[in-house]
Structure 1
Amino acid sequence: MNKEHVKLTATEKSELFAEGVITIVLLLLLNLSIVILINLTILQNKNLVNGIYFLKKTITFAGGRHLWSWQNTFLVMMGVGDLIVLYWRLIRRYHQMQLRHVISELHYIAQGHFDHTISFKVKTDLQKVIDSINSLVDSTVNAINEERAIEQSKDELISNVSHDIRTPLTSIIGYLGLLKSGVDDPEEQQRYLNIAYSKAEQMKSLAHDLLEYTTLKSTNTSLNLTSLHIFSMLEQVAAGFEFEADEKGVVFNIETRPKDLTIQADPEKLVRVYNNLITNALKYGTGATQINLIANLVNNNEVELRVENNGERIPKDSLKKIFERFYRMEGSRNTQTGGTGLGLAITKSIVDLHRGKIRCESDDKWTRFIICLPLDPKNTKSLA
């Protein structure tokens, strides 16, 4: 935004004009008094008159011209001095008016208009004050917005948790009510028990994920860093999903460059990241036949981890929200896939804890979750 200089009101312009007129009148009176006093002094001292005449005869300029009138010279000097004094008085009053505008803007902001900034600029040190005020306003607005976002987030958290608990709990109460009322058929009893147990497991999973998510978001959460061989870890993770992958016709491909790539990380938490991403690929990667687990050494400080599947692409709108807690790509709150909507939010929290970054890319061929991690989080700032 281009800032303009302070625009004076009609009253302020009149005030500035009056200041100039009064200053000129006072200077003229002062000049007249000085000229009269000097003339009286010179007339009463013949030696001074002779000295002045001598100077007039001896001082010459280009072309042999003499200084014939000391009065004119003195008047010119006084005129220059008067202009300097006039400029100083006017510019001082103008700066006072600028200060009044700044104070007025401050009062306006203090009345609760925290999104308002001082939009004009000045050429004095007052500009530093204006810039500091605008920075303070911006930080205040950001703090207010952050506070509102936190409050909204809390409300959404309560709403989502209440919904996700109420749905399976209603089913559990319903089926237990049927059993309590008396069901003679043993097969029906077993079916109701199985459904109630499944819903209870779903509630347990939600409670576990919610506790893990809030724990990871806590500032007190620490990492148990150890030297981790990436290829060995990926083999173990893939083996844990072998049965489910065979059922869905999915093949795992593991590749690390170099083969003995090792980083400093929390093994338990990083395994949870891979579990979440692979689970997400198996549940939502419709039509996928491959899941690639790839790790590349980028440079001496950074490693890139990829989890790719060739299943159905993720819509662009979903890519923007995919790491938000309780977000489900189905676009509804049904839980038939068994997800709590916290898996990817937990994944992002773990990556953040490792001072890394995670993003998701998806097209018609591949959906990629790309993680950039420092080789040693203790000696590295957060990745940009």
Structure 2
Amino acid sequence: MFTKAKEPGRQTLLRYWTTRYLITLVVGLLVIALISVIWIRKTTIDNRLNLTQVMAQELADRIVTEDGQILIPPVLKDVVEERSKLLNLDEPPSTFVVDPEGNVLSDKNHFRGGPPGAQPQAQKISPSFFEKRKVEIDLGEEGKAYAISQPVKNGDDVLGYVVMLNLEKDLGKVNQEYRLLAILLVSLGLLGWLVIYYLSRKLSAPISEVASAARVVSEGNYNVSLKEPAKEKEIYELVDSFQQMAEKLQHLEQFRSELLAGVTHDLKTPVTSISGLIQAVKDEVVTEDEAKEFLDISLKEVDRLQRMIGDLLDFNSFSSGAIPVRKETVSMNDLVEDIVNQWKQTQVNESFQLEVETPPEDMEADVDPLRVEQILINLLNNARQALPEAEGSLRVKLERKGEFCTVSVSDTGSGIPEAEQALVFERFYRGEDKKLKTRGLGLGLPFSRMLAQAHGGSLRLESSSSEGTMFVVEFPIR
């Protein structure tokens, strides 16, 4: 017992691309956010360290008296706190004043306004913290700290140093910037998702319409109409091509129905005629002379039936590549004149005018004379059928155009209606007027075009109007 293979899950174009775009957007914004946080943190720390150096220099200038001594007034604690607020620091930096040997002249508490004259607890700071203007200090689990120092000078003499200590985690606190960054990235993410959702929806709408129309066509209904507008070139071409395909399928279905009815009628009529004529001869209803005439008519009907069936078989065989084209080098001047003259001999009791024009120089081409004859005779027959009764003219002209020799067959008939001109090379198509006047399968022009293309040439409808019609067939010159 066979079980149907489970089809893989399918997602709509809108969901598929918006989901993937959203994932890509989120990942990209997260990477940008990480890089931005690192950059903001580093930039903020560098800027605050530079401002701390400026603050240390200000303090160093304030604590030098006119007689060249270091005096630390209590008001300096307010200066440190005020400057720390400008730097948006939660805690003011730990500040020390030391002499050139590293002895602490004022520690953190005293510098912040301890009792006047009180001496700090005996401390000493390693010269390595103030000999350089900026020093990184590794605090282990607590992270890093930075020591900023500025010399206290009286002229060229160095009286001491102002040393300010900041923890890296305090310098890197920038909550406001992080909030702005988060708002910006979230806004960009939402905007990007909305844009891709809108664009994907606009893109998927005509494609969905084409898919729905394709399902309708697959069910045998070719009467579909795609109305979704598309400004994109590729989407427009897709919709337009599908619309044209559906229209052609509808025409082909109509042609098929007409062909079935036409072939049934065209085959039934001669068969009925042949049957009646032979039955009359069999029943001896007619005399000997009449019987002979009836048999002649029957043979003509049989011959016409054979030609119709032969045309259909030849077309199908050539479509599948079963009929070869045997090329040989021939004079196109002689070939065209011979074909036209032979065809003219078959047109007994016809009063139309026929003109053949060939160039003075001889043109040679590698063609299959039999296939060229089929093409030209079919064009001549069509041109003759387009002429009004007992009047009109045909013209066959051979000329050279570049690397091709062209044979044009024109008539002075009423022309092909404009609505039918694009369909003349469709297989099984027969014009409205031609359906009533002549019998056939509508394969002459499609078959002739296939033969011309097999030679490396082409067959086209050059022009058609109320003054006449011209078909042109081209063959490559040898």
**TM-score band w.r.t. shorter chain:** 0.5 to 0.7
**For 1:86, which of 186, 189, 192 is the aligned residue?**
186
Give the letter for the 1:54 counterpart: Q
Conserved 8 A contact 2:280-2:286:
no
Verify the 8 A CA contact 2:331 2:365 in the aligned structure 1.
yes
Q: 1:327 aligns with which of 430, 435, 438?
A: 430
Structure 2 unaligned regions, length at least 5: 1-32, 59-82, 90-172, 215-224
Closer/same/farther in 2, CA of residues 257 and 173 from structure 1, 3 Å limit = same
Matched, 1:194 2:211: no
CA distance in 1, matches of 2:395, 2:463: 14
Matched, 1:353 2:352: no
Residues 48 and 87 in structure 2, CA contact (< 8 A), matched pair in contact too: no
Q: Residue 298 in 1 paired to residue 398 in 2? A: no
2:88 matched to 1:71?
yes
Q: Which has the higher contact order (CA 8 A, sep 6+)?
A: 1
Alignment partners' CA distance in 2, 1:105 and 1:322: 35
**Compared with structure 1, are the counterparts of its residues 167 and 52 closer, same or farther at alpha carbon in structure 2 (3 Å cutoff)?**
same
What does residue 53 of structure 1 align with? 52
Does 1:215 pair with 2:317? Answer: yes
CA contact (8 A) 1:357 1:373 kept: no
User: What secondary structure, in the 3-state scheme, does the structure 2 residue paired with 1:351 have?
Assistant: helix
Give the TM-score normalised by structure 2. 0.53
Which of 278, 282, 286 is equivalent to 1:180?
A: 282
Aligned runs of 1:1-384 on 2, under 5 Å? 52-55=51-54, 69-71=86-88, 77-78=177-178, 80-94=180-194, 97-98=197-198, 101=201, 112-114=212-214, 151-244=253-346, 247-257=349-359, 259-286=361-388, 287-288=390-391, 290-299=393-402, 301-309=403-411, 311-317=412-418, 319-324=421-426, 325=428, 327=430, 330-333=433-436, 335=438, 341-354=442-455, 355-363=457-465, 365-375=467-477
Residue type matched to 2:449 in 1? Answer: K
Backbone CA RMSD of aligned residues: 4.8
Partner of 1:71, secondary structure, is coil
1:344, CA displacement in angstroms? 3.2
Letter in 1 for 2:194: Y
Deviation at 1:200, TM superposition (A): 1.4
> Which residue of structure 2 lines up, in the alignment, with residue 382 of structure 1?
none
Higher strand proportion (structure 1 or 2): 2
Aligned equivalents of 2:393 and 2:460: distance in 1? 21
Counterpart Cα distance in 2 of 1:187 and 1:265: 47
Alpha-carbon deviation of 1:303? 3.0
- Unaligned 5+ segments in structure 1 are 1-26, 36-41, 43-47, 60-65, 122-129, 377-384
Deviations 1:47-86 (Å, cap 9, x if unpaired)?
x999743345879xxxxxx998223995664465244323
Note if contact 1:361-1:368 (Cα within 8 Å) is conserved in structure 2. Answer: yes
Q: Deviations over 1:186-236 (max 9, x none)?
A: 233223222222221221121112222222333455432333321010121
Could you tell me how far apart the structure 2 residues matched to 1:363 and 1:99 are? 47
- CA shift in 2, pair 1:221/1:117, >3 Å: farther
Report which of the two has the higher share of helix.
Answer: 1
More divergent stretch after superposition (345-354 vs 262-271) = 345-354
Query: TM-score if structure 1 supplies the norm length?
Result: 0.64
Q: Give deviations 1:276-296, integer Å, cap 9, x for gaps.
A: 122333344234564332122
Instruction: Determine what percentage of the aligned residue pairs are the same residue.
Output: 18
Structure 1 residues 332-355: Cα deviation after superposition (integer angstroms, max 9, x where no partner): 4454xx766543343233234334
Contact 1:308 1:367 survives alignment (8 Å): yes
**Alpha carbons of 1:67 and 1:375: their partners in 2 closer, same or farther (altered >3 Å)?**
farther
Secondary structure, in 3 states, of the residue corresponding to 2:296? helix
Find the aligned partners of 2:230 and 2:202 in 1 and give their Cα distance: 9
